[in-house]
Amino acid sequence: MDAQSSFRDVLIQSGHLISTGIDGLYGRGRIFEEIVSGLEAQVTEAGRQDGAEVMRFPPAIARQDFEISGYMKSFPDLAGTIHSFCGDERAHQRLICEMVDGNDWTSQQKATDLVLTPAACYPLYPVVARRGNLAPEGHLVDVYSYCFRHEPSLDPARMQMFRQREYVRLGTAEQVLEFRETWLRRGREIVERLLLPMEIDIANDPFFGRAGRLMSDAQREQRLKFELLVPVNDATKPTACVSFNYHMDHFGEAWNLHDWEGRLAHTACVGFGMERLTLALLRHHGTDISGWPRELRTLFWGNA
Amino acid sequence: MDAQSSFRDVLIQSGHLISTGIDGLYGRGRIFEEIVSGLEAQVTEAGRQDGAEVMRFPPAIARQDFEISGYMKSFPDLAGTIHSFCGDERAHQRLICEMVDGNDWTSQQKATDLVLTPAACYPLYPVVARRGNLAPEGHLVDVYSYCFRHEPSLDPARMQMFRQREYVRLGTAEQVLEFRETWLRRGREIVERLLLPMEIDIANDPFFGRAGRLMSDAQREQRLKFELLVPVNDATKPTACVSFNYHMDHFGEAWNLHDWEGRLAHTACVGFGMERLTLALLRHHGTDISGWPRELRTLFWGNA
C-alpha cells in the first residue's frame, strides 16, 4: 500500500468506497457512512455545552454571496459554478444534435444564480450579517455541509465532493481566538479517542498563482491556520483532517458583519473533514471493522 | 396563508427555513433537520426487512453517465452542470477585472466531468451495471442524496436543492412491479402514521417542450408513475411527497443493465421527498412542535 492508488483500490475492493469512474468522486458503503455518523456525534458531543445555533444549508450558495466572499480571487481553480440550459425547443434540438455527434453540448449552458459551497461555513456569514450587529457575546454556529473543490486526484483523501462539520465563531478578535484555542484542544482530544497518530502544525490555504504564494506566506507568518494532520495515504505527507482557522475581519468586511459596538466582526472556524477522518480510521485500524480495538467499536456501534 | 409566499414567510419567521435570497434555496434550522432525520428513520424502518444494499453518493454524478441517462432529452431545463475556471494567471486577471466591473465573469468557466444529481437513484445504475448481470433475485438498493433541479420558485415545496430518500429495485418486470406495489402500501402507511391527509394518483414527469407532452401522456396511459400527494402550499393543488416509478427497461437499456438471463433489466424506485414531507408536517400540525399530537412528538423525539 505504498502508492496512492493502492489504498484507494483496497477501499473500493472492501466496499467502503464505490467507484464512479471519476477521480475524487466516490459513493460510500454502509459501514463508511456509519463511521461518518459516529464522528459527527463525537463532534456534536464535544461542542454540546456551548449552545451553538444549528444551521444546515444545501451544498450551494447564492452566486452573489459567493462573489462577495472573494473566493474567486484566491481559489478560482477550485470553485464550481452551476449552469443550466435556458433555451427554447430549437435550442434544445441543437443541444441534442451536439450530444449525438459527440460534440461539446455544454457551451450552451448558462450560469445560474448558484455556486457549489466551497467550505461549509460560507453560507452562514451573509445570513448572520443580515440580522444586524452581533450581540456583545458574539455568536456561535454549527454547520455541516457537502463542499466542492475541483481537484480530481487519485488520493482518496482528496475528494471533489466531501463533508465538512464546522463550528463557527463570530465576535471580537479575543472571542474568536479563545474559541480557536478551545477547539485546538477539543480536536486533539477527539482524535486521541480515535487512537490515531497526529500532529498539529501551522498551515496555509492553496492560494492561486504567484500572488497566492505571498498570501500563503503571510497566512503562515500570522499563524492564521492550524491543521491537525494524520498520515492517511502517505506517511511522509500526512493529511489535514481538522483545520482551525482565524479569518481576522476578512469575512466581516466582505459581508458587512459587525460586532455589538459596530466594529468589523472577526471570525474563526474549526472544520472536521468527515471523509478524511473516516479514511484515517480505516487506514490505521483496518478496513475490516471487526478487527478494530474494542473501545473504538463501542464508540461507533455501542455495545452490540 | 393563502398565497404561496405567506407559508414561506411563516417558515422563515419561525426559523424552520433560512432565507438565502435565492428562491428555492434555503438553510434549515435544528427542528426542521430533526424532523428530516425522524422521517429518514421511518423510511429505513419500513424497508429494514428487505436487506437493501446501502449506497450513499455525493450530490453529483459523472457527466458521461448523466449523458447516457437521456436526462437532457427529457428535462434539459432542470439539470445543473458544474463548471470551473481552468485558465492561467492572465486569464485569472481578466476574470477578476470582469468581476470588479460587474460584468459576466462566468463565460470563462468550463464544464467539468460532473453534473449535479437530478434524482437520488441516477448514480447507482451505472455502478450496478458494471458488476455484470443481476442475480436471479435481482437487486435492491437504498440511496439518499441531495438532488438539484433548476426551477426557482416561491413555493417552499419546490426547492432547487432537496433530499430524496429512495429504494430502487432492479430485476425482471414482475420483480420490480411487485416492489412498487409493496411500497405503494408502505408509503401510504408511513404517511398515515404522520397523520397527514393524502391521495395517491397517476402522475407524469415534467417532460420538456411539445414532444414532452406526448411523453407525459404515454407515461400516464401506461401508469408508470404514481404520486402520494399532500396539500402543502395550496389545498387545491396538493404536493407530491412520495413518488412510485416504474422505468420499464429505460435505465436497463441506457446503462446496459441485464437480468440473470441476459435480458434488459427493468427498474422501479420509490422516492420520499424529505423537505416536502417535513413541510407537510409543519403545515398540518403547526410550526410550533409543542402543539403537535403526542403520538407524533413521540415518533420524532421519543418520550423525552
Judge: A209–B27 Cβ closer than 8 Å, yes or no: no
Confidence of residue B9 (pLDDT cuts 50, 70, 90): very high
A interface test, pick of B19, B22, B48, B103 with most A CB neighbours within 10 Å: B22
Judge: A81–B106 Cβ closer than 8 Å, yes or no: yes
Q: How close, in Å, is residue B79 to chain A by CA atoms?
A: 6
Q: Is the pLDDT at B60 greater than 70, yes or no? A: yes
Q: How close, in Å, is residue B262 to chain A by CA atoms?
A: 23
Q: Find the CB nearest A111 among B54, B59, B109.
A: B109
pLDDT (0 to 100) of residue A3: 53
Write out pLDDT tens, residues A177-233.
999 999 999 999 999 999 999 999 999 999 999 999 999 999 999 999 999 999 998
Among positive and negative, which fits the CA dihedral A280, B33, B39, B157?
A: negative
Confidence of residue A234 (pLDDT cuts 50, 70, 90): confident
Judge: A27–B57 Cβ closer than 8 Å, yes or no: yes
User: Which chain B residues are closer than 8 Å to A50 by Cβ?
Assistant: none
Grid cell in block for residue A170: 463570530
| For residues A255-270, average pLDDT | 97
Task: Find the helix or strand (DSSP H, E) in which A83 lies.
Answer: strand A81-84
Write out pLDDT tens, residues A114-162.
999 999 999 999 999 999 999 999 999 999 999 999 999 999 999 999 9
| CA A79 to chain CA mean position, Å | 13
Alpha-carbon span A146 to A209, nearest angstrom: 26
Alpha-carbon span B247 to B255, nearest angstrom: 13
Domains detected in chain B: 3-80+118-301 (3.30.930.10), 83-116 (no CATH)
Comparing CA positions, the residue from B44, B286, B278 lying closest to residue B162 is B278
Indicate the pTM of the whole model.
0.97
Q: Is the pLDDT at B1 greater than 50, yes or no? A: no
Q: Which residue of B has its CA nearest to A114?
A: B22
Comparing CA positions, the residue from B124, B67, B125, B122 lying closest to residue B258 is B125
Write out pLDDT tens, residues A56-92.
999 999 999 999 999 999 999 999 999 999 999 999 9
Q: Which residue of A has its CA nearest to B54?
A: A30
Judge: A146–B59 Cβ closer than 8 Å, yes or no: yes
User: Which chain A residues are closer than 8 Å to B20 by Cβ?
Assistant: 57, 61-62, 65, 123, 126-127
List Cβ neighbours of A177 (8 Å cut-off, separation of 6 or more).
A246, A268
Q: How close, in Å, is residue B174 to chain A by CA atoms?
A: 28
User: Which chain A residues are closer than 8 Å to B22 by Cβ?
Assistant: 62, 113-114
Alpha-carbon span A142 to A54, nearest angstrom: 5
Q: Average pLDDT over chain B, rounded to whole? A: 96
Judge: A54–B29 Cβ closer than 8 Å, yes or no: yes
pLDDT (0 to 100) of residue B235: 78
Q: Is the pLDDT at A5 greater than 90, yes or no? A: no
Q: Do B105 and A72 touch, CB atoms closer than 8 A? A: yes
Q: Is the pLDDT at A1 greater than 50, yes or no? A: no
Q: Find the CB nearest A83 among B65, B80, B161.
A: B80
β A53-54/A139-148 pair status: parallel
Q: Average pLDDT over chain A, rounded to whole? A: 96
